Amino acid sequence: MLYWVMKHLLLGPVMKLFCRPAVEGHEHVPDEGAAILVSNHVAVADSFFMPLMMKRRVTFLAKREYFTGTGLKGRFKRYFFSGVGQVPIDRSSGAAAQAALDTGVRLLSEGRLLGVYPEGTRSPDGRLYKGKTGVARMALESGVPVIPIAMFGTNKVNPIGSKMWYPHKVEVKVGEPLDFSRYEGLAGDRFVERSITDEIMYALMELSGQEYVDIYAAKAKDDLAAQGKHIAGWEVDGNQKDDDARTSGGRVPQTRAG
Confidence class of residue 2 from pLDDT cuts 50, 70 and 90?
Answer: confident
User: To the nearest 10°, the Cα dihedral for 186, 189, 195, 200?
Assistant: 70
pLDDT reported for residue 234? 52
Cα separation, 124 vs 128, in Å, equals 9
pLDDT reported for residue 248? 44
Residue 177 clears pLDDT 90, i.e. is over it: yes
Give 125's contacts (C-beta < 8 A, 6+ positions apart). 220
pLDDT reported for residue 243? 37
Residue-range definition of the domain harbouring residue 173: 2-24+32-240
Confidence class of residue 224 from pLDDT cuts 50, 70 and 90?
Answer: confident
Does some domain include residue 253? no
The residue count for the chain: 258
Nearest to 234 by CA among 132, 135, 121: 121
- Beta bridge mates, 177: none
10-24, 66-80, 189-203, 224-238: range with lowest mean pLDDT: 224-238
Cα separation, 72 vs 98, in Å, equals 32
Query: What's the number of domains the chain is made of?
Result: 1
Does some domain include residue 6? yes
Does some domain include residue 246? no
pLDDT reported for residue 240? 47
Does some domain include residue 157? yes
Cα separation, 243 vs 161, in Å, equals 9
Does some domain include residue 257? no
Residue 163 clears pLDDT 50, i.e. is over it: yes
Does some domain include residue 252? no
pTM over 0.75: yes
Mean pLDDT for 170-176 is 98
Does some domain include residue 249? no
Does some domain include residue 170? yes
Mean pLDDT for 182-200 is 95
34-38, 92-96, 213-217: range with lowest mean pLDDT: 92-96
pLDDT reported for residue 180? 96
CATH of the domain at 232: 3.40.1130
DSSP 100-138: HHHHHHHHHHTT-EEEE-TTSS--SSS-EEPPPTHHHHH
Mean pLDDT for 143-157 is 97
**What does each C-alpha distance from 155 to 3, 19, 55, 91, 172 come to in angstroms?**
23, 12, 23, 25, 13
Residue 249 clears pLDDT 70, i.e. is over it: no
Q: How far is CA 196 from the centre of its chain?
A: 17
**Residue 77 CB coordination number (10 Å):** 17
Instruction: Give the tens place of pLDDT for each residue, 35-62.
Output: 999 999 999 899 999 999 999 999 988 7
